[in-house]
Structure 1
Amino acid sequence: MPVQSSIRIDGVDVPVLSANTVVVGTGAAGYCAADRLVQYGQEDVLIISDRIVTGSSRNAGSDKQTYYKLTLGGGAGDSVAEMAQTLFDGGAMDGDHALVEAALSSQAFLHLVDLGVAFPRNRYGEFVGYKTDHDPRQRATSVGPYTSRTMVERLEAKVGRDGTRVVENLRVIDVLVSDGQAVGLLCLRRRVTQAEASAGASRFLLVRARSIVYATGGPAGMYARSVFPHGQWGAAGAAFRSGAAGRNLTEWQYGLASIAPRWNVSGSYMQVLPTFISTDLDGGDAREFLPEAIPDYGRLLSLTFLKGYQWPFDIRKARGGSSLIDLLVYRETAERGRRVFLDFTRNPGGLRLDPDALDPEAREYLGSAGALFGTPVQRLIAMNRPAYELYREKNPAIDLARDRLEIDVCVQHNNGGLAVDCWWQSTVLDGFFPVGEAAGAHGVYRPGGAALNSTQVGATRAAQWIAARRRGEPLDMTAFAAISAPAVEHARGLLADAGARVAAGAPDNTGELLTRAQVLMSEHAGLVRSAQGVSGALGQVREMLVGLSDRTVVDTASRRSVERLFLLRDILTSQFVYLSAMADYLRRGGHSRGSVLYTDAAGLLPEEGLPDSMRFMPDDGALDAQVQEVALRCGADGVPAVETNWRPRRPLPDTGGDFFENVWRDFREDGGVR
């Protein structure tokens, strides 16, 4: 069990929790890592979280949230090697990651089944599947809109049965490092009040550990236009400041989502053919806007239908494909300053649905679903009533039979992240294991649902390595105190200086600065990016980051304001590293790829009539065999800088020559953990 003690720093006793392994995060990846660690015999585990009930795994979803795995039913052939090739073909993904994610997908999936996640199977026990985006087979499965939530709940119950200790209301603000080893964490105690602090309670807490599993999710707090759930911030900045490298940070996914509540409008929400409405900021001047660029009624309906299958924005589908709709929504909100809504009470153009105007794929699908009639909401209720009911149960509640649903093009997932090896250990810091979305294991493209598989595979691999190779005690308390004291003193000083400005009469500005940083990122580093915009945003973020200690004003009587100070530092650090990676990608001659349009005045328009700011040059795949890695450095003048490195991606390992007797002999010696 974790041991609590304290270290006295500048007259204040700072609590210390000690364990062999600390898991940061209570999502699907974090709980899986804790579960696996105990399974593999490492029981000295502590889980910490800022809030147990928040995070993407527990609170995000879609019409039919997907889990991607090896085919486990039907007559179609499949293999580990073939699934690995599919993942590898997404570009900029290391081959060993692709092979591991394919090889462990069945083990990870069946573990969830055994824990009670009710993935559908037929009467003979086959797990049926369907085809998802970037998937040549039918490897996808689902338990409905809350697949990841169900995973979290079942894993959480298992961790509870194991008796693993969970401590919440701790936000990581620094990763502590000694001689290339991650040795612990500095955390903010979110619930300590000003009165308690004045009476001698520490606002900070230290965690001393031999290994750290970093399941903090993606750096969602960087963006304003976001479908990440409220409360999902990420903690990539702390990792970057510790020296951890980033990989493929340029690669994000964007797509259409409702903004209140935050939810992907994929699947049935698009397949029932809603009407896209644009209004001014006050909700007036309502009009349909898609016909401006897509005057052909049948084409408009068919492209809308395809957005259900092809939900993430894909630059390859921007010219003549369904991703044109994302760009038209983006033009309304980001460039014209208007609001966009889905209206499920009327058909596009106010017309009666004409099945003959649809492409065969859309007509056959809706016909098979018995939904070639009526209005979009009537089709939705007939085809997928739970999708209709979902919004009635959300907060705020929305009845699609009556209310318009406001949407935007939102950031949804980071394919890049912190650089890890094939055991999900940091390539720079020993004992530091980013898993889930925090890890940069994906490339440019990935099949839908591969992210959920990666949470389980990465967590399992990290647990295997820790249990086999990293047993024993953390750094001794004397050495740990020497390492942690400067970090505690710096955090205290940052808070004291910012709090003194309130005492001098300045108003709290943490909320204003946070919003400014998020809006800046969405405007210049989102779906549509330009070299000038990225460069300008990078300069502004650098200025905000360097001036953070001199310009931030914190009301120390407000726990929320205190937390925002450290969130702001983390987010600005992350933005600086990510924007630096984007600027480097452009300098290297990178073009539009994945889920991003990089503007190019000499490029092509997605559709005639769109603004020149949307001209782009399609990527030719020249960088698909390369991986970009970046690292944050601090110069002698205190000004941060980012080092970049491009390397060939590691190829798919050739295991075809493995001889059973040799593998068995080696496995008996080390369990394959090497």
Structure 2
Amino acid sequence: MKKETVEINGYPVEVYSYNTIVLGTGAAGFNAADRLYQYGQTDMAIITENKNAGTSRNTGSDKQTYYKLTMSGDNPDSVAEMAQTLFEGGCVDGDTALCEAALSSQSFYKLVELGVPFPRNRYGEYVGYKTDHDPRTRATSVGPYTSKVMTECLEKAVSDKNITLHDKMQCIRVLTQNNRFYGILCLNLNSVDKSHRYVLFNAKNIIYATGGPAGMYSDSAYPFGHYGASGLAFQAGVKGKNLTEWQYGLASVKPRWNVSGTYMQVIPRFVSTDEEGGDEREFLFDYFQDKYDLLSKVFLKGYQWPFDVRKIDGGSSIIDLLVYIETCLKGRRVFLDFRENPGKSEIDFSQLTDEARTYLERAGATFGTPYDRMVHMNQPAVDFYRNKGIDLENQMLEIALCAQHNNGGLSTDAWWQTNVEGFFAAGEVSGSHGIYRPGGTALNAGQVGAVRAAQYIARNRQGDSESTKEFLKVVEKEVEETIRLGESCITTEDNIDDMWKHTTKRMSQAGAAIRTEESIEKITKEVLTEINQFSALIKVKEEKQLRKVYRLFDILTSQYVYLSAMTDYVKHGGKSRGSALYSDKSGKKPYDFLPDIFNFTIDDGSKNNQIQEVLYQNKECICTWRQVRPLPMEDNFFETVWREYRENGNIV
């Protein structure tokens, strides 16, 4: 590491120089740093806006899943089978699927050795269960906070090695030129004083582990304090991949938490109110004549938590649409009420579907109120909300249809390097998933991506970064431009919070689970106008608000690129798939009671072997389509692989 101080545009700016920087302190970021150190690249540092923020540390579910190769019992499994499962999700590159399968065991056992208490039987087998889109029993969990425990164990591993960590540094510009990475510009959140406000990091490589672009949406299951930074990557020329593919589902608003599993299996009431909390009514009964058909669908939301267009007609995802109608179309609020049974009447559990009835009978939960059943089946699920200040025994829980995970992201190769030389992406920001993915694959993908990027850097991208003099020659213009962008917004007025609320709410209404071509095109134009007029539109009174200014610019850029991808998808004949319903006037409504916006056509799968990539250039989006990279078919003759491994570690 080298440290110097230079002057740019009248500001003293500290410049830190490393071979590699890791941006982000989630499970992927900490693992990337730990792996770099393990592989011999110690000239590196971690940079983070807030060490204790982020999705990995602050999110979960009633039983958060980690997905890996089967490691117990007599159920057959193999690397090739797991890779095939991932590949069959649609729009998935085969080489990354194979890597995620092949390294899942190594990544899992490292976490075990670091202290993550994944359950095993008395003979040492790490047992599993079946999760969504999983043909085996590859899933495991340590409870609601699997990713939190992972992050804490990985942080300790990094801390024990005394790896440098720069906290309270908000990245506000990724510095590239001619498709090559040079460094990043950060806003120092520890100080608003001009003498310490900006910090430069000069590096040959970056492992970008900033998570999904959660800040785009107001209705979000992502924890407060996690926003992502995909817009900065797009500005730097990094291509996006599968940006249309998200996972949406029902989640509580405060705190942000998936209401999956037991929260739905106990069959709560769904209550709608006006904005002030008045005019309370149980709205689901407006749409269903058969009470037990409705209750069975609510139960199934526990199993089938993600919104899925294939599960609307006759399935449980109709519940998601009805919540969306109340919140986004009618402007009302929706709550789960565990205090009384739906309809405020007794449930005859024998009238439920066989699946729901059998589950509740085996759980011994065919009695009482939803709250009574919750306490009986999953006391920790009750305790979670109580610890957050919500007593489900006496209070209703506000929910919405929320963005929960981006299956797309930044486009990478099999070493998790993007189209920009030296720029690697790991974790949710990396778009290694396709349309569908087994539950828990994201945690495995983040660990594997960190390993692959670290291996490649340690083997092929050693050496010092540019000298400070040469570095400044390349980046000084961009740095000055970025400083001016933020500081031109400092005035005697303040509208940043209102603009933030407006732009994120707009995205949740038109660019989330329910999409119409007209609405997408309309808000795309609005977003681009706001980007072009940003300095004139956005106003803050105080310099400490600069963090919001730069964050909003990143969010708007992300929205523009993602919306452009959605428009291009429709223009290429794309129909409803995964967790996105595209309104189609020539399609059909699964229920007559739905508004016409819910006419849609299920995609026929003909595009499952194609990947859409998006390049943001000169405030325009260039969308291209390519074939997925196929699953590799390797001739794994031992002597050949061994010889190649001795020569170069098979890192090429």
Task: Report the TM-score, using the length of structure 1 for normalisation.
Answer: 0.95
Q: Which residue of 2 aligns with 1:593?
A: 577
Q: Which residue of 2 aligns with 1:479?
A: 470
CA distance in 1, matches of 2:88, 2:563: 26
Structure 1 position 358 matched with structure 2 position 352: yes
Post-superposition offset of 1:5: 1.2
Q: Which residue of 1 aligns with 2:368?
A: 374
Show CA shifts across 1:203-240 (max 9, x none): 21100111101000111111111111111111111111
| Equivalent residues of 2:66, 2:440 under 8 A apart | yes
Within the candidate set 625, 632, 642, 1:664 is matched to 642
Show CA shifts across 1:107-150 (max 9, x none): 11111011000011111111111111111111111101000000
Q: Which residue of 2 aligns with 1:330?
A: 324
Show CA shifts across 1:49-103 (max 9, x none): 0011110000011110110111111111111111111111110011111111111
CA distance in 2, matches of 1:179, 1:531: 34
Q: Which residue of 1 aligns with 2:56?
A: 57
Alpha-carbon RMSD: 1.1
Identity across matched positions, percent = 52
Q: Which residue of 1 aligns with 2:631?
A: 652
Q: What secondary structure, in the 3-state scheme, does the structure 2 residue paired with 1:175 have?
A: strand
| Equivalent residues of 1:555, 1:562 under 8 A apart | no
Show CA shifts across 1:587-635 (max 9, x none): 001000000110011211132211111111111111111000000111x
| Equivalent residues of 2:47, 2:169 under 8 A apart | yes
| Equivalent residues of 2:487, 2:546 under 8 A apart | no
Q: Map 1:244-255; keep pairs closer than 5 Å.
A: 244-255=238-249
Whichever residue aligns with residue 648 of structure 1, its letter is Q
| Equivalent residues of 1:254, 1:409 under 8 A apart | yes
Post-superposition offset of 1:338: 1.1
Whichever residue aligns with residue 451 of structure 1, its letter is A
Structure 1 position 532 matched with structure 2 position 522: no
Q: Map 1:246-325; keep pairs closer than 5 Å.
A: 246-325=240-319
Q: Which residue of 2 aligns with 1:515?
A: 501
Q: Map 1:237-636; keep pairs closer than 5 Å.
A: 237-394=231-388, 397-426=389-418, 428-499=419-490, 501-502=491-492, 507-557=493-543, 559=544, 561-634=545-618
CA distance in 1, matches of 2:151, 2:289: 45
Q: Which residue of 1 aligns with 2:37?
A: 38
| Paired positions, count | 652
Of stretches 575-584 and 9-18 in structure 1, the one that deviates more from structure 2 is 9-18
| Equivalent residues of 2:4, 2:15 under 8 A apart | yes
Of stretches 661-670 and 599-608 in structure 1, the one that deviates more from structure 2 is 599-608
| Equivalent residues of 2:173, 2:482 under 8 A apart | no
Structure 1 position 641 matched with structure 2 position 620: yes
Show CA shifts across 1:426-445 (max 9, x none): 1x111111110110111011
Of stretches 457-466 and 175-184 in structure 1, the one that deviates more from structure 2 is 175-184
Whichever residue aligns with residue 583 of structure 2, its letter is T
Post-superposition offset of 1:191: 2.6
Whichever residue aligns with residue 61 of structure 2, its letter is S
Whichever residue aligns with residue 22 of structure 2, its letter is V
Whichever residue aligns with residue 315 of structure 1, its letter is V
| Equivalent residues of 1:119, 1:143 under 8 A apart | yes
CA distance in 2, matches of 1:436, 1:26: 11
| Equivalent residues of 2:300, 2:316 under 8 A apart | yes
Show CA shifts across 1:327-376 (max 9, x none): 01111111111111111011112221212111111122112211111111
Show CA shifts across 1:472-513 (max 9, x none): 1001211101122112211222233222x32xxxx1122222
Q: What secondary structure, in the 3-state scheme, does the structure 2 residue paired with 1:256 have?
A: strand
Whichever residue aligns with residue 641 of structure 2, its letter is V
Q: What secondary structure, in the 3-state scheme, does the structure 2 residue paired with 1:254 have?
A: strand
Post-superposition offset of 1:10: 2.8
Q: Which residue of 1 aligns with 2:146?
A: 147
CA distance in 1, matches of 2:93, 2:279: 50
Structure 1 position 212 matched with structure 2 position 206: yes
CA distance in 2, matches of 1:423, 1:486: 31
CA distance in 2, matches of 1:133, 1:289: 28
Q: Which residue of 2 aligns with 1:177?
A: 176
CA distance in 2, matches of 1:17, 1:316: 51
CA distance in 1, matches of 2:571, 2:328: 25
CA distance in 2, matches of 1:497, 1:386: 49
Of stretches 599-608 and 139-148 in structure 1, the one that deviates more from structure 2 is 599-608
Runs of 4+ in 1 over 4 A off after TM superposition: none
Q: Which residue of 1 aligns with 2:66?
A: 67
Q: Which residue of 2 aligns with 1:637?
A: none
Post-superposition offset of 1:412: 0.5
Structure 2 unaligned runs (5+)? none
CA distance in 1, matches of 2:101, 2:486: 46
Q: What secondary structure, in the 3-state scheme, does the structure 2 residue paired with 1:438 have?
A: coil
Post-superposition offset of 1:175: 1.1
CA distance in 2, matches of 1:262, 1:11: 42
Post-superposition offset of 1:187: 0.8
Structure 1 unaligned runs (5+)? 635-639
Whichever residue aligns with residue 568 of structure 1, its letter is L
Post-superposition offset of 1:393: 0.5
CA distance in 2, matches of 1:367, 1:34: 48
| Equivalent residues of 1:186, 1:487 under 8 A apart | no
| Equivalent residues of 1:293, 1:608 under 8 A apart | no
Q: Which residue of 1 aligns with 2:83?
A: 84
Q: What secondary structure, in the 3-state scheme, does the structure 2 residue paired with 1:217 have?
A: coil
| Equivalent residues of 1:355, 1:372 under 8 A apart | yes
Post-superposition offset of 1:554: 2.3
Q: What secondary structure, in the 3-state scheme, does the structure 2 residue paired with 1:71 have?
A: coil
Post-superposition offset of 1:325: 0.5
Whichever residue aligns with residue 480 of structure 1, its letter is F
Of stretches 361-370 and 102-111 in structure 1, the one that deviates more from structure 2 is 361-370
Q: What secondary structure, in the 3-state scheme, does the structure 1 residue paired with 2:587 have?
A: strand
CA distance in 1, matches of 2:85, 2:376: 35
Whichever residue aligns with residue 444 of structure 1, its letter is I
| Equivalent residues of 1:221, 1:233 under 8 A apart | yes
Post-superposition offset of 1:188: 1.0
Q: Which residue of 2 aligns with 1:17?
A: 16
